[in-house]
Structure 1
């Protein structure tokens, strides 16, 4: 606990956490606005005339109040997870950037304990981001659903499950950030690479796997995109399973595997790396 408190002190006394927090809040407002406009359109029973059977089924599923409620209650997840990952990266790379890593490991020779404290702090930071964004999303979503003549839907297990799994996503992305920061010690290099992979990699994976699935006429290829942690995170908070899409728990499994892998690899690398 002393090590975790030390990591908390390091994070609290820098500008990183509140700068990332402001960024997350700004993107949350934009995301909720977009999601609300989309929900307003889909909840008002738009016609599926002219659509294929498959497209019509997907359209009707996304137009359900449960799906839209879960989407609204978890608004801002995409960029929120990005900022949580960046906090995890900063927690480890700042030690190398400010050349305090030698002092840290001399003070606490058990490197595994140091990394465990950083992983715990990153997860706690993710939980804090989830708490703040959820505290904003819940009343905003209730007000929106009331204006659309719907109840809050919080009594629906699928909606509650999405909110709770969103917490899991925030926790795990903090761990992913620490693991990524261990692989690339340069703070600027790790930050730029992580943002590029998160934004461009997510879009590229969705496009490439979809095109290959259509070209080869093999639907399972499209599902490979859910191996990307960013896409898996969105899948695990979906309130309703959509046609031709894996179940929500697949996204949770993928994200847990990524977090375990990066956390373990990061710890092993740090235990053996020369930091002098």
Structure 2
């Protein structure tokens, strides 16, 4: 146990001695804050009548999220859009070991490679949770302020809202462990970054959109990692586009997300982590 704790401390030091974690945190805050604030102003304005909906929208903002559904939708931007950041952090923290050959002294200090990978996963789980808090500070801090300015109840006294916050932090932590698994599975840092950005920003949104048209494919699409994450959190902006008609329960979404992390990490462990390093 003492060896594992020391390993976790070592992994923590590896992350904190680089700039990538706080740069990603700053970009995440700005990105989510801009999206949450902008959408809160748009839908809050429609709800309050300050902004006239487009033709066909009808008075009172028909087609926009209702007042009770709007705050969770805005707050969920922290995970439904921001999940790419913990994935990148986990992938960069792992692929950096291969790129800079820091695995050699690490394995010399602790030859139990499984324990090293486990400590890295635990450490990045914590950093993923931290990014979840940062994302919520942006989506809630800015989103709730804007909603309140338009007379929309931000629901901050609602227990369901705080449960959503907790599930959001859990989802972001799990995404970081998926990033670790991906980094082990694809040791090339450039390739990992390309895969993360291409899949999260292009491939999966298109797959979720395509799957939503037919009930059979919708039942398959709900097991995609992004859909599982949205199910875990309990809210997502994808509901506006009608891409979340078939969803898992929150605990099922969490198990699916955990399953992706475990599979990627285990496969990566046997394909690349156990190889000789120089």
Q: How does the TM-score come out when normalised to structure 2? A: 0.82
- Contact 1:111–1:270, Cα closer than 8 Å, also in 2: no
- Contact 2:33–2:143, Cα closer than 8 Å, also in 1: no
Question: What does residue 7 of structure 2 align with?
Answer: 3
Deviations 1:131-188 (A, max 9, x none): 2222333333332232233433133333222211101111100100000001111111
1:111-190 matches, cutoff 5 A: 111-190=113-192
Distance 1:227 1:247, change over 3 A: closer
Task: Using the TM superposition, give the Cα deviation of residue 227 of structure 1 relative to its aligned residue in structure 2, in angstroms.
Answer: 1.8
1:1-150 matches, cutoff 5 A: 1-40=5-44, 43-44=47-48, 63-150=65-152
Task: Using the TM superposition, give the Cα deviation of residue 41 of structure 1 relative to its aligned residue in structure 2, in angstroms.
Answer: 5.2
**Residue 244, structure 1, aligned to residue 248, structure 2:** no
How well do the aligned residues superpose, as a CA RMSD in angstroms?
2.9
Q: How does the TM-score come out when normalised to structure 1? A: 0.82
* Aligned residues between the structures: 262
**Residue 233, structure 1, aligned to residue 229, structure 2:** yes
Aligned counterpart for 1:224 among listed residues 216, 220, 223: 220
Distance 1:141 1:23, change over 3 A: closer
Task: Tell me how far apart the structure 2 counterparts of residues 77 and 221 of structure 1 sit (CA, whole Å).
Answer: 24
Question: What does residue 56 of structure 1 align with?
Answer: none
- Contact 2:76–2:233, Cα closer than 8 Å, also in 1: yes
Question: What does residue 255 of structure 1 align with?
Answer: 257
Distance 1:231 1:181, change over 3 A: same
Task: Tell me how far apart the structure 1 counterparts of residues 89 and 218 of structure 2 sit (CA, whole Å).
Answer: 31
Bigger shift: residues 233-242 or 249-258: 233-242
Task: Using the TM superposition, give the Cα deviation of residue 105 of structure 1 relative to its aligned residue in structure 2, in angstroms.
Answer: 0.9
Task: Using the TM superposition, give the Cα deviation of residue 117 of structure 1 relative to its aligned residue in structure 2, in angstroms.
Answer: 1.1
Task: Tell me how far apart the structure 2 counterparts of residues 102 and 139 of structure 1 sit (CA, whole Å).
Answer: 43
Deviations 1:46-69 (A, max 9, x none): 99x989xxxxxxx77x62333211
Question: What does residue 54 of structure 1 align with?
Answer: none
Structure 2: runs of 5 or more not aligned: none
Deviations 1:19-70 (A, max 9, x none): 22232122112211332134325634899x989xxxxxxx77x623332111
Structure 1: runs of 5 or more not aligned: 52-58, 214-218
